[in-house]
C-alpha cells in the first residue's frame, strides 16, 4: 500500500484462534466506499494457532492485513503497540469476538469528516447471544457484557455528558494519543472475569484535557456473548473487580466528598446501605431478579472498599495521611467530620446554607 491509509483498524487478540476468523472476515469484507484502511492484528503472546490463522488470511491476498506480535501480556500493552505501528490519522479498535457492520469503516470516516470538533467516537455494540439469555439479564446488566445501545440519536460525550464508549467499537484521532498519552496498563484485566477500566480511565484523561467524543449510532458492531457470561457468578466477579479498579482509578465524580472512612467517600457508604436494605426487601418479598441487581451494586462497593482499605492500612499501597492510623481512630474522625459538616450547613436560624456534597 503506497498511499497513507485513512483509518487503521486494530484487533488485539489472545488465544482465540477458533473465534478470530469471523472477526477478520467482517473487517476485510468492508464496503468501504473509497476509504483506504489498513488492518493490524496484534497477537498478544497467544500459545494457540493465532499466528497461523492470521498468516493464512495474508496468503489469500489481503494486502492491508498486518501481523504484529506483542509479548508483554495485557490488552493495554497490545493496543499501545498497535498505536505505535499505525500509519493512519484515525485508529479504530474492535475485538476478536466482534463482527463489524459492512459500512463500519465508511461510517467512521464520515463521522470524523462531518464533525472535526470531536476527538473520538463510538457506536452501538449489539449482542450475539451464545445461549438463551436468562430473564434477569435486562439492559441494566449489560455493562459486564460490554453491550452498548444508547439509542438512535447521536450526542457528544464529554465531562458534562459522561458516557463510556467501549473498545469493541472505539475510534480515536491519532492526536489524542500524542496529547494525552496511551492506554494505562494499571487498569487492564489481570484475571478472567474481572472487569477492567482502561477504556474509561483513558476517556477520563481525554475529558480532563477538554476534549470530547461522540456516540454515533450508525457505527455498529455485534459482539459474541459467551454462555459463561450469562451466569450470575460471572456478573458477581465482574462487579467486584470493577469496584477494585474504580478505587484505583479515582474518578472525580466518585471522589466528590470531604468526609471519608478508610479512604472511601461517605456517599458510597450511604449508597451501599440503601442497596443493602433494598436487597433484603426484595429477597424477603420473593423478587430474586430485583434483589440481584442490588447485590451487584453491593459487590461493586465491596471491591471498592477492599482496595481502599488495603491502601489505607499501608499494605501494598501508599498510606493515606502519610501515616498508619488505627481503625477505631479513623471511625471516630469520620464521625467528627460528618457532625462538623452537617453543622456547617446550617446558619443560626436553622436554614440550610450548604449542599450535601460537602460531606457526602
- Per-domain boundaries in the chain: 7-230, 235-358
* 63, three cell numbers: 494486502
DSSP-based three-state secondary structure for 330: helix
Overall pTM > 0.85: no
pLDDT of residue 196: 63
Label residue 195 by pLDDT band (50, 70, 90): low
Evaluate if residue 300 carries a pLDDT over 60.
Answer: yes
- Distance between CA atoms of residues 303 and 125, nearest Å: 27
Phi, psi at residue 210, to the nearest 5°? 80, 15
Average pLDDT (161-167) is: 90
- Cell 488505627: give the residue: 326
pLDDT of residue 257: 73
pLDDT of residue 331: 62
Contact 50, 125 (CB under 8 A): no
pLDDT of residue 186: 82
CATH number of 7-230: 3.90.550.10
pLDDT of residue 13: 97
- Residue partners of 42: CB distance under 8 A and separation at least 6: 10, 11, 12, 13, 68, 69, 70, 78, 79, 81, 82
pLDDT digits (tens, 9 = 90+) for 49-103: 999 999 999 999 998 999 999 999 999 999 999 999 999 999 999 999 999 999 9
pLDDT digits (tens, 9 = 90+) for 21-55: 999 999 999 999 999 999 999 999 999 999 999 99
Amino acid at each position: 500500500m503506497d498511499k497513507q491509509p485513512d483509518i487503521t483498524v486494530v484487533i488485539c487478540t489472545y488465544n482465540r484462534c477458533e473465534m478470530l476468523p469471523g472477526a477478520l472476515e467482517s473487517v476485510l469484507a468492508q464496503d468501504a466506499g473509497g476509504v483506504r484502511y489498513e488492518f493490524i492484528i496484534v497477537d498478544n503472546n497467544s500459545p494457540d494457532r493465532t499466528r497461523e490463522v492470521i498468516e493464512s488470511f495474508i496468503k489469500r491476498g489481503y494486502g492491508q492485513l498486518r501481523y504484529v506480535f506483542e509479548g508483554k501480556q495485557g490488552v493495554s500493552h497490545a493496543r499501545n503497540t498497535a498505536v505505535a505501528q499505525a500509519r493512519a490519522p484515525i485508529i479504530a479498535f474492535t475485538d476478536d469476538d466482534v463482527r463489524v457492520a459492512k459500512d463500519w469503516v465508511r461510517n467512521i470516516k464520515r463521522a470524523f469528516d462531518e464533525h472535526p470538533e470531536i476527538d473520538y467516537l463510538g457506536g452501538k455494540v449489539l449482542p450475539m447471544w451464545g445461549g438463551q439469555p436468562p430473564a434477569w439479564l435486562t439492559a441494566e446488566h449489560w455493562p459486564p457484557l460490554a453491550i452498548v445501545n444508547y439509542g438512535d440519536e447521536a450526542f457528544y460525550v464529554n465531562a458534562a455528558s459522561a458516557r463510556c464508549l467501549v473498545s469493541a467499537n472505539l475510534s480515536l484521532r491519532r492526536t489524542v494519543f500524542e496529547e494525552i498519552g496511551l492506554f494505562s496498563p494499571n487498569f487492564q484485566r489481570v484475571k478472567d472475569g474481572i472487569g477492567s477500566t482502561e477504556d474509561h480511565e483513558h476517556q477520563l484523561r481525554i475529558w480532563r484535557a477538554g476534549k470530547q467524543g461522540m456516540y454515533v449510532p450508525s457505527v455498529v458492531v455485534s459482539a459474541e456473548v459467551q454462555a459463561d457470561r450469562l451466569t450470575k457468578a460471572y456478573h458477581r466477579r465482574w462487579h467486584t473487580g470493577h469496584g477494585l479498579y474504580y478505587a484505583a482509578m479515582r474518578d472525580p465524580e466518585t471522589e466528590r466528598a470531604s468526609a471519608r472512612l478508610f479512604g472511601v467517600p461517605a456517599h458510597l457508604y450511604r449508597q451501599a446501605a440503601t442497596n443493602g436494605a433494598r436487597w433484603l426487601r426484595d429477597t424477603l418479598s420473593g423478587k430474586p431478579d430485583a434483589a440481584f441487581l442490588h447485590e451487584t451494586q453491593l459487590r461493586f462497593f465491596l471491591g471498592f472498599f477492599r482496595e481502599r482499605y488495603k491502601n489505607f492500612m499501608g499494605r501494598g499501597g501508599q498510606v493515606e495521611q502519610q501515616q498508619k492510623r488505627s481503625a477505631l481512630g479513623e471511625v471516630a474522625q469520620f464521625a467528627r467530620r460528618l457532625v462538623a459538616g452537617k453543622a456547617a450547613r446550617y446558619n443560626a436560624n436553622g436554614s440550610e446554607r450548604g449542599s450535601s456534597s460537602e460531606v457526602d
